Amino acid sequence: MNQRHQKAAPKTKLGIWLAAIRPATLWAGVVPVLVGAAMAKSAGHQPGWPSLAALIGAIQIQIGTNLVNDYADFKTGADGPDRLGPKRAAAQGWLTPRSILIGASFALASAGIVGIYLTWVGGLPILLLGLASIACAVGYTAGPWPLAYLGLGDIFVFAFFGLGAVCGTYYLEAQTVSLAAVIAGAAVGALGTAILVVNNLRDRVTDARVGKRTLAVRFGERFTRVEYALLVTLPFGLIVICTILGVFSKWSLLVLLTLPVAAREVSAIFRKDGALLNAHLAGAARLELMFGVLLAVGVIL
């Protein structure tokens, strides 16, 4: 490893682990649970311990997914010296692959422990959702048929960090699922998927080299930029149409305050490439956070 990469390492063990779990991505687990709890409150169900436990479980699954991704991409060579994104712990030698695998196992086992309580509250549907979430967290980049390498990562994020997390949280509090929760889950899931799309657009060349057949690799950069624009636009359309139809209150239109941010991010995605997309990976995450918070506030009001 060259000296330049050594200098990039965090100075403490805690800093290294924080870099490995990628705190900026954890909002993808927090936002849908927040929205699901807000949807439940708007329907007359006061969020309590189940929502808090769902939040902890979602964060643990996100951490586990990130660590498995770090380990698996190092093993396959996807995180090589020409990586355009932030440095990864295994590839940089900050942590051994074994340590990262142990960390991932601990995070997912912790999520499983939380899942025992959530299953007690929500029954079989929550058990199945939890088991599927943990299985896909591992299978996202590891196992014989890794989802990300087959081009199924977008579906995974939309399903589990959108529909599953929002509707699952709502179900824990209400013991049912509403149309409004499904629509909110689709809106949040689209924005969460947009984060992944930026990542895949940036990494399409290096991913293709190691056989990681993301949609960006399969269909090219033009498709990927259009996909991003559609994913960012869809949530606004859903909320506006459903507000007109009376599914949401007029306060849900608070999400329109994020339209300038969305427009700026879409414009950037069509103009920039490579490492310049790193800032807009963070931008997509901020958009999901702002949209989710405003939607949560709007449905409660």
List pLDDT tens digits, range 196-224. Answer: 999 999 999 989 988 889 999 999 999 99
Which ranges of the chain does DSSP label H, i.e. alpha helix? 3-7, 13-21, 27-42, 49-76, 89-92, 97-122, 124-139, 153-158, 165-174, 179-202, 204-209, 215-244, 259-271, 278-300
What per-residue confidence (pLDDT) applies to 5? Answer: 41
pLDDT in tens, 289-301: 999 999 999 999 8
What per-residue confidence (pLDDT) applies to 8? Answer: 59
Nearest Cα neighbor of 157 from 196, 203, 187, 207 is 196
What per-residue confidence (pLDDT) applies to 10? Answer: 84
The pTM of this model reads 0.92
Residues lower than pLDDT 50 in the chain: 1-7
What per-residue confidence (pLDDT) applies to 236? Answer: 98
- In order of 41, 72, 282, the CA distances from 25 in angstroms are 26, 18, 8
List, in order of start, the domains of the chain with CATH numbers: 11-300 (1.10.600)
What per-residue confidence (pLDDT) applies to 4? Answer: 40
What per-residue confidence (pLDDT) applies to 1? Answer: 36
Q: For residue 17, give every residue at least 6 positions away whose Cβ sits within 8 Å of its Cβ, in sequence order, or none.
A: 89, 95, 103
Dihedral-angle region of residue 59 (phi above 0 means left; psi in -120 to 50 means alpha; beta otherwise): alpha
